């Protein structure tokens, strides 16, 4: 049985992502914080950590990117999960009687259109599945949580309203982090991070390394450097594995031009 760490309580969307990627035969290790997931993988307590990295509406999850840079681990695989929110409560509760709704702030924001039609108190909570667990354990009457279907199944709650997200095109990209490297193959994606020398045209020259070889960048995003104020590092995703000869030459040139380069992983590209 594979042991997998994720942030949140049982029933979190990260758990759904793990099952979609790795199957149901998993021994889960729920963690309080994303950093704890990375630590569990680094200490070899688990085979994989499942980490949300990007949402189609909210954008990149900055903490996850910072941790990818901090810890000497590899992106082993990725999975894209359709995020569908449900309003759930203790058995027997009625939607008209709900006085308070609990969930993670991002989930509350993603269900804003539905929530504005309710005359209820909106209460931010640290975790979607955690809000469902809290209502179950504390036996909160006239209260509901917003979480995924799996959370309702785990904590014995009833779905008062399914699919309450405002935008049905709500997807989150998760990555599996590991001490091991995936084996590159056709259809792979490579992720890396680099910084540039503080000279005119440095970024332009580096982007030219990819453009001149027709390498398709699927992501380019900057993040503030933790080591120097007002300097930035760049996260890049590109198609195809790094062991291709064209890509090897591009990476070699990148090492020559950039101030810093680190390959985060070359791994199978997910499909929606």
The residues that are catalytic are 172, 174
CA dist 39 and 7 (Å) reads: 12
CA dist 145 and 100 (Å) reads: 9
Query: Maximum distance among all alpha carbons in the chain?
Result: 66
| Residues 6+ away with beta carbon under 8 Å from 57 | 110, 167, 169, 170
Candidates 59, 110, 83, 69; CA nearest to 219 is 59
CA angle 189, 195, 198 (to 5 degrees): 150
| 195 SS3 class | strand
């Amino acid at each position: 049985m594979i042991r997998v760490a994720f942030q949140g309580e049982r029933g979190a969307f990260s758990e759904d992502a793990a099952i979609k990627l790795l199957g149901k035969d998993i021994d889960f290790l729920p963690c309080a914080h994303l950093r704890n997931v990375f630590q569990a993988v680094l200490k070899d307590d688990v085979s994989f950590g499942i980490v949300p990295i990007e949402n189609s509406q909210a954008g990149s999850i900055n903490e996850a990117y910072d941790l990818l840079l901090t810890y000497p681990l590899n992106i082993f695989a990725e999975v894209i999960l359709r995020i569908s929110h449900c309003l759930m409560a203790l058995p027997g509760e009625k939607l008209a009687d709900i006085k308070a709704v609990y969930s993670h702030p991002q989930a509350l924001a993603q269900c804003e259109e539905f929530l504005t039609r309710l005359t209820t108190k909106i209460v931010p909570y640290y975790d979607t599945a955690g809000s469902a667990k809290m209502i179950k354990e504390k036996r909160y009457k006239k209260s509901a949580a917003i979480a995924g279907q799996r959370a309702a199944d785990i904590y014995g709650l009833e779905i008062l309203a399914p699919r309450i997200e405002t935008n049905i095109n709500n997807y989150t990209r998760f990555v599996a982090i590991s001490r091991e490297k995936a084996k590159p193959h056709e259809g792979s994606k490579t992720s890396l991070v680099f910084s540039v020398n503080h000279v005119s045209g440095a970024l332009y020259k580096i982007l030219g390394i990819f453009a001149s070889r027709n390498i398709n960048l699927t992501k380019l995003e900057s993040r503030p450097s933790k080591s120097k104020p007002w300097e930035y590092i760049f996260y890049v995703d590109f198609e195809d594995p790094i062991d291709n000869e064209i890509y090897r030459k591009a990476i070699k040139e990148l090492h020559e031009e950039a101030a810093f380069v680190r390959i985060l992983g070359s791994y199978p590209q997910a499909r929606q």
